[in-house]
């Protein structure tokens, strides 16, 4: 059976300004892949890098033709770059992985074994994030808790993009047309038969992380608003609660005034009430705006990405068409 003996394995690597890790990454990943199969491809998506990432990728392909390059027209972000790589992957199994080697390539061996045992998707789960800073660990744990409670789709805790997916999973993924893409949520939504492998996350081999505070914050909002309408529903409940409390408070004022007379209105309390409810209104409008903004992006129906050049991608492989 092909899957058990010599499967075609595609590794998809989004890269943005990763010139410092290119050589060491290929050294590590090719060693693993050659021990597993004689048929593999490493699809590198250059996501608008401004350093020497692309020239180094081209040089690496000169030594290993299994390295294939998709050069996007600009920086579209990791989620879109990952989507582009998955669109072009041709393997029986596909493994997204980061170039910084914080996702250990050696774990692919264990993933393949579980895939051969019948799993359609094998998820790599981080059991130890000690190499991350305190803020990143705390914010990540908080995000997974909040997203898990709010989302209609269960997102595994401490699971990133690093996983192995069967060809049928990739084909199903290509049928999802949304432009606003939170890949961890999309992977979870797909379902299929899943298995897990665990690992302790190592340090980056070189370079610095591209995930700064503001980018992480926006990414977390993307994950929450893309996979649940609960924030909108909360405002329905809050509006109902206020509509119940307001008449009750009005009745209290009427009764008190009837027995005790008219009080002199308090300026401070009036201002506090006005500011409080104004803040609630603005917050509600902001949440509504998040959803309206996503609708705006979807209805424009722009392509997810534009490819400036492909190097090594098979000519007979149909380029994904805009949905």
Q: For residue 212, what are its two tokens?
A: 């700064």
pTM passes above 0.75: no
Q: Looking at residue 12, what is its pLDDT?
A: 92
Q: Are residues 136 and 46 in the same domain?
A: yes
Total domains in the fold of the chain: 2
Comparing 206 with 308, which gets the higher pLDDT?
308
Would residue 304 be called left, alpha or beta, if left means φ above 0 and alpha means ψ between -120 and 50 degrees? alpha
Q: Are residues 210 and 270 in the same domain?
A: no
Q: Are residues 58 and 190 in the same domain?
A: yes
Q: Are residues 92 and 201 in the same domain?
A: yes
Q: Are residues 274 and 246 in the same domain?
A: yes
Residues 8-21, mean pLDDT to the nearest whole number: 88
CB atoms within 10 A of CB 20: 19
3-state secondary structure of 310: strand
CB atoms within 10 A of CB 294: 16
Q: Looking at residue 177, what is its pLDDT?
A: 76
Containing structural domain, residue 248: 230-300
Q: Are residues 171 and 257 in the same domain?
A: no
Q: Indicate whether 317 belongs to any domain.
A: no
Q: Looking at residue 187, what is its pLDDT?
A: 82
Q: Indicate whether 323 belongs to any domain.
A: no
Q: Indicate whether 151 belongs to any domain.
A: yes
Residues 290-301, mean pLDDT to the nearest whole number: 74
In tens, the pLDDT along 229-283 reads 666 667 666 776 766 676 676 677 667 666 666 655 655 566 666 767 777 777 7
Q: Are residues 191 and 239 in the same domain?
A: no
In tens, the pLDDT along 55-80 reads 889 888 888 888 898 989 888 888 88
Q: Are residues 115 and 139 in the same domain?
A: yes
Residue 224 has pLDDT above 70, yes or no: no
The domain that contains 95 carries what CATH number? 3.90.550.10
Q: Indicate whether 127 belongs to any domain.
A: yes
Q: Are residues 242 and 255 in the same domain?
A: yes
Range list of β-strands (E), the chain: 9-15, 40-46, 67-72, 93-96, 121-128, 159-166, 194-200, 307-311
Which pLDDT band, with edges at 50, 70 and 90, does 322 fall under? very low
Q: Indicate whether 36 belongs to any domain.
A: yes
Weakest mean pLDDT among 15-24, 112-121, 178-187, 237-246: 237-246
Q: Are residues 202 and 255 in the same domain?
A: no
Beta bridge partners of 94: 10, 165
Q: Looking at residue 11, what is its pLDDT?
A: 92
Comparing 280 with 136, which gets the higher pLDDT?
280
Q: Indicate whether 262 belongs to any domain.
A: yes
Q: Are residues 83 and 214 in the same domain?
A: yes
């Amino acid at each position: 059976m092909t899957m058990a003996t010599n499967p075609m394995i595609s590794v998809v690597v989004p890269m943005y300004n990763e010139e410092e890790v290119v050589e060491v990454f290929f050294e590590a990943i090719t060693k693993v892949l050659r021990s597993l199969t004689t048929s593999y491809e490493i699809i590198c998506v250059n996501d608008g890098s401004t350093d020497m990432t692309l020239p180094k990728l081209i040089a690496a392909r000169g030594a290993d033709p299994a390295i294939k390059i998709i050069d996007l027209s600009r920086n579209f972000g990791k989620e879109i770059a990952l989507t582009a790589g998955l669109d072009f992957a041709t393997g029986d199994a596909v493994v997204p992985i980061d170039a910084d080697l914080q996702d250990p390539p050696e774990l692919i061996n264990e993933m393949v074994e579980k895939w051969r045992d019948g799993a359609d998707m094998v998820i790599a789960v981080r059991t130890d994030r000690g190499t991350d800073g305190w803020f990143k660990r705390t914010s990540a744990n908080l995000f997974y808790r909040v997203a898990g409670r709010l989302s209609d789709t269960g997102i595994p805790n401490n699971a990133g993009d690093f996983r192995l997916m069967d060809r049928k999973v990739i084909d199903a993924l290509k049928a999802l047309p949304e432009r606003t893409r939170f890949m961890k949520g999309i992977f979870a939504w797909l379902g299929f038969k899943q298995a897990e492998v665990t690992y302790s996350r190592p340090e980056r081999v070189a370079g610095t992380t591209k995930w700064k505070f503001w980018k992480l914050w926006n990414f977390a909002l993307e994950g929450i608003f893309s996979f649940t309408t609960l924030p909108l529903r909360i405002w329905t409940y809050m509006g109902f609660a206020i509509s119940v409390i307001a008449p009750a408070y009005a009745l209290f004022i009427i009764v008190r005034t009837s027995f005790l007379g008219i009080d002199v209105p308090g300026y401070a309390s009036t201002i506090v009430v006005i500011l409080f409810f104004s803040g609630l209104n603005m917050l509600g409008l902001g949440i509504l705006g998040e959803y309206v903004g996503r609708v705006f992006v979807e209805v424009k129906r722009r392509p997810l990405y534009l490819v400036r050049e492909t190097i090594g991608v098979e000519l007979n492989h149909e380029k994904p068409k805009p949905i």
